Each structure stands twice: as structure tokens, then as C-alpha cells.
Structure 1
Amino acid sequence: MYDYQTLRLEAQGAVLFVTIDAPPMNLIGPELVRDLVSLIELLDRGEPYRVAVFRSADPDFFISHVDVTKVSAYRAEAARLTGEASIALLFRRLAETRAVTIAQIEGRARGAGSEFVLNCDMRFGARGRAILAQNEAAFGLIPGGGGAQHLVRMVGRGRALEILLSADDYDADLAERYGWINRSLDREEIGPFVAALAHRIARMPATGHAIVKERINAISLPPVEDYRRDSDLFGEGVTQVAAQRRIHAALDRGFQSREAEIEAGKLLGTLPD
């Protein structure tokens, strides 16, 4: 068994519960990406794990976003699976994996954290806990992990533009209303609901999982070229002077610290021009 540094795995029959545990706040850095590469390779087998449930050990953060100080390092780790330095293509591989993937969101999932859950097959958010955002516009960037591609298809053009251009926070109930997540649930309900759904799906024939995912992906999964284009635009844009200036301004105000990230939507909305 691969020695995971940032993921805790618990098998319950054909269901694999994956707990993200990457202190201090589940940022996407090289260690987490390295573990996701190995996990996706495991889930690609389809057996013994037919369903994977993603949740977080941190009550405040599901996946915060990418570590903006380690962009080159985490992109290089993704290339181990995809052949290209791109977490967009890594996330697309997650969407294509043979296992059915479910995100149980009980904290903040911003930027690439939101894109991670968008590339899961299903998403459920805890009321009063789950927060989603695509915050790249605060730095003059486009989401680089498939966020724009998925959101237009899921929520429609107008709401996708609202989400992407505002870089604001959306709670579980509003995310459900928009179609960003499957449904919102009370905190005491979400764990038992997701577990019951995962086990129910796992009891169904694996052949059905494979053909349903294949056909749904054929209909709705964005083309790989569109993932690659968004990834390239993010990678090019994040190195530009204007983006770096705003990133450093955010870091100076506490961005990527727990205290500031709790209300990151407010922080990013007040960055200087």
C-alpha cells in the first residue's frame, strides 16, 4: 500500500472513505497532488473500491485552494500521471476514474478546491459549514482546473459569470439552488446520508457503474483540449506582474493563514487595484 502523507483511507467493503488531512488548511501543494496521483491510479482499477467518498479532517476547510507559493511544484507532481504539468488534466482523470466519486463538503472549497469537487461525480454540502468559491478573478486569472467548463454546463451562463467574476463565497443552500452541488444537508445529516448513498451504489453491479459513467462523461465532460487551454491560461497568467502584485497583496493581508481564510471572500473583495 502506498504511504499517503495527506490522505487517510478507510475501506468499508467496496466503499473507500478518503479523508483529506493536509495541515494547516488543506492547501493543494505538491504533497497532496502526489497523493492524489496515487489515489487516482488506485481508483482507476474499479475494484475492490467501487465508490470513493472524499471528506476532510479539518472542520473549516475541505480544500482551501492551491498554494500560490508552490504552483510549479504541484503542477510538476501532476505530470507523473498526466504527462503534463497541469492539475486540470489530473482533475479530469479523477472525473474519468472507474470508481464513483462523492464529495462530502463540510468546510471551504475555493479555487481549485471547488474544481476538485466539480470533477467528482456528486457533491453534497453541509449547511452552515460548506462554502464554495472560484476566487481566481481576484488575481486577474481564469480557473485553471476545469471550473469554468463545469460551471457553465451545471449552472448556466449567467450564474457561471456571476460566480467566476465576483470571486465571492457561496454557502451550501445557494450552491444547491444554483446547481453547483447536488443538495445541501444539515450537519448531522450529511455523513449518514452520504455513507448510505455510497454503500447503496456500491451494491449495484460494477458493469452498470462503468457504462453509466462512460455515457454521462461522453455527454457532459468538457473536452480535454478545453481543460488544457484553461490550465495554460492560468499557468501563464499567474506569472504575470499584475497577478503577482495582487497575490502578494493578499498574502500581506493574511491570505493562506487560517484566520484570514475563514473570511477570504471579504479579503479578496477589498484588494487594492
Structure 2
Amino acid sequence: MYQTLSTQLEKNIQIITINRPEKMNALNQLMMGELGLAIDEVYRNKDIKGAIITGAGEKAFVAGADISEFLTLSPKQGEELAKSGHVVFQRIEYSPKPIIAAVNGFALGGGCELAMACHFRIASENARFGQPEVNLGLIPGYGGTQRLTQLIGKGKATELMMTGDMITADEALAWGLVNHVVKLEELMPKAISILEKIQTKAPLAVARVVKCVNAAIDKELDGWETEIKEFAACFATADLQEGAEAFIQKRKANFKGE
């Protein structure tokens, strides 16, 4: 189905693998289009309860963009490229189903931006993160200037983007860019175990967590008011009734997303 991706559904978890290992899984326009289709499937397919995005091989998650595509672009075409990337990555960020980045090596440029668009990140010990666009006379264009600042703070983000330096997985953990660092062979099991735990929770509540967290950093929204409204909306769900009854009866809740 895809030329640049592979997908596999296991235990209601859709594993989306960026599959250009010969190019260090570099992003190109075809891949961005296919990634958009893969995310649409996550939204649409009721059998998918969560997703993991990772890279093929052991060297790279996504080691940047395919620079050869940039050589002939006009400013207008550059604007269109950035806008198309924003659309795909915002679909990831706003997904009502959890999407985790399992970063298995270099996550540079567009790769770091893709990882940051996911709800959170797990890194292998060999992972490296950076926004080295200034080395090419560019800046991040897929949301990197915004998400990196939100995740690690203005000072560190500005330094990383101005110097083009890379940071290690352990530095990324200390700075709040990733949630966990594990051995490479433990990366996918860790991501799957977290998603399996999330699957035991109320899916409508999980989706509302995503909505409220995103509202906290959306300048067009009032995050406090969003929380109040989403909290109130929970009281109209069968899941809240089930969760409360299960708690009182000291049994495991059986949520149905209703």
C-alpha cells in the first residue's frame, strides 16, 4: 500500500514504520503524504486504539529531510511545503488516540519535529536529537520552533536551533524532550506496554486529556475553560458510570468508549 512506510496492527496498536533505511529514513514529500494517510487510518479504524511511529533499522528514526527536494523550491513552494507538514503533524498532535514516537536513532530536523508532534517520546540509548536546519540556511518548518520551545524551554531551544547541535538521549530525558530512555531492544516493548496500559483506561477520557493538554498551549483557546467543559462532558458518558461503579465495587472497569 505504501512506498515509504510499513504498517502493522498488533493488539489494537498500529505500528507505523518509516521505511527508507537506505536514506536514513529521510522525509520527502511522498512520505509526508503517505504519513498523512496512515494517520487518517488511525483516526478512522475502530480496531486501532493507539499507534507507535518508529524508523526502520537501528540507526535512524528520521535523520532529517531529503535535502535534494529543496534545491529548486521557490519561497511560495517553501510556504506550501511547510503548511502541508503542519497539517500532518497537527493531525498527530491532536489525535484522540495516543500516538507514541519510539525513537530508535537519529531524530534530526523533520525527524525531531515528527517525534515532537507525537503525544510523547521514548528513546533508545543511541538516539540523538537536533534541529540542524541552520547548517543549510534554513529554520525548522514543520513546527519545530514552536514545539521544541514548549517542551524544553526558550533558552535551551534557542541554543539548539542556533547552533544546530545534537543532544544525546540522556540529555533529551533530562531536558524533558523524552519520557523514557531504554536499551534499543527494549524500545518497542516499552512503547507497547505503555499503550496497553492506556488501553485499559476510558478512551473518551484519554481523548479529552489530549484536547485539554493541547488547549494549554493553543493561543486561540482558553485551556482552563476547555478543562471545565471537558470535565463536565465526562458526566454524560457511560464510561464515567462504569468507572465509578467499578471503583466502589473494587473491580476492574470495563470501558466501552461510550
| Pairwise TM-score range, normalised by the shorter structure | 0.7 to 0.9
Provide, for residues 9-64 of structure 1, a one-character-per-residue CA deviation record: whole Å limited to 9, x for no partner.
11123211112112422111122112111112112236221210111212111111
CA displacement at 1:204 relative to structure 2: 1.9
* Length, aligned pairs only: 216
> CA 1:182 to 1:31, structure 2 compared with 1: closer, same or farther past 3 Å?
same
1:168 paired residue number:
165
| Greater Cα radius of gyration, structure 1 or 2 | 2
**Superposed counterparts of 1:71-110, under 5 Å:** 71=70, 85-110=83-108
Q: Check whether the contact 1:131–1:172 (CA below 8 A) recurs between aligned residues.
A: yes
Q: Check whether the contact 1:26–1:62 (CA below 8 A) recurs between aligned residues.
A: yes
2:48 paired residue number:
49
Given candidates 125, 136, 139, the residue that maps to 1:142 is 139
Q: For 1:193 and 1:142, locate their aligned partners in 2 and report how far apart those are by CA, in whole Å.
A: 33
Aligned-partner residue type, residue 208 of structure 2: I
Provide, for residues 45-100 of structure 1, a one-character-per-residue CA deviation record: whole Å limited to 9, x for no partner.
3622121011121211111111112245xx98x97xx9x85312321122112221
1:190 paired residue number:
187
Q: Check whether the contact 2:60–2:107 (CA below 8 A) recurs between aligned residues.
A: yes
Q: Check whether the contact 2:102–2:122 (CA below 8 A) recurs between aligned residues.
A: yes
> CA 1:208 to 1:174, structure 2 compared with 1: closer, same or farther past 3 Å?
same
Cα RMSD over matched residues? 2.5
- The answer to whether 1:30 aligns with 2:48 is no
Q: Check whether the contact 1:50–1:98 (CA below 8 A) recurs between aligned residues.
A: no
> CA 1:114 to 1:50, structure 2 compared with 1: closer, same or farther past 3 Å?
same
> CA 1:221 to 1:54, structure 2 compared with 1: closer, same or farther past 3 Å?
farther
> CA 1:60 to 1:39, structure 2 compared with 1: closer, same or farther past 3 Å?
same
Which gives a bigger RCO, structure 1 or 2 (Cα 8 Å, sep 6+)?
Answer: 1
Greater CA drift, 99-108 or 6-15: 6-15
Q: For 1:6 and 1:98, locate their aligned partners in 2 and report how far apart those are by CA, in whole Å.
A: 25
Q: For 2:5 and 2:219, locate their aligned partners in 1 and report how far apart those are by CA, in whole Å.
A: 27
Aligned-partner residue type, residue 50 of structure 2: V
Secondary structure at the counterpart of residue 150 of structure 2: helix
TM-score by length of 2: 0.76
Given candidates 188, 199, 218, the residue that maps to 2:215 is 218
1:203 paired residue number:
200
Q: For 1:139 and 1:153, locate their aligned partners in 2 and report how far apart those are by CA, in whole Å.
A: 24
> CA 1:223 to 1:10, structure 2 compared with 1: closer, same or farther past 3 Å?
farther
Q: For 2:64 and 2:129, locate their aligned partners in 1 and report how far apart those are by CA, in whole Å.
A: 10
Q: For 2:89 and 2:21, locate their aligned partners in 1 and report how far apart those are by CA, in whole Å.
A: 21
Secondary structure at the counterpart of residue 70 of structure 1: helix
Q: For 2:220 and 2:60, locate their aligned partners in 1 and report how far apart those are by CA, in whole Å.
A: 30
Q: Check whether the contact 2:16–2:38 (CA below 8 A) recurs between aligned residues.
A: no
- Give the gaps of 5 or more residues in structure 2: 222-258
Aligned identity (percent) is: 27
Provide, for residues 193-246 of structure 1, a one-character-per-residue CA deviation record: whole Å limited to 9, x for no partner.
21111111123222112111111111135769xxxxxxxxxxxxxxxxxxxxxx
Q: Check whether the contact 1:150–1:222 (CA below 8 A) recurs between aligned residues.
A: no
CA displacement at 1:116 relative to structure 2: 0.3
TM-score by length of 1: 0.72
Secondary structure at the counterpart of residue 145 of structure 2: helix
- Give the gaps of 5 or more residues in structure 1: 225-273
Secondary structure at the counterpart of residue 170 of structure 1: strand
> CA 1:156 to 1:55, structure 2 compared with 1: closer, same or farther past 3 Å?
same
Secondary structure at the counterpart of residue 44 of structure 1: helix
Q: For 2:89 and 2:36, locate their aligned partners in 1 and report how far apart those are by CA, in whole Å.
A: 10
Secondary structure at the counterpart of residue 158 of structure 2: helix
Aligned-partner residue type, residue 6 of structure 1: T
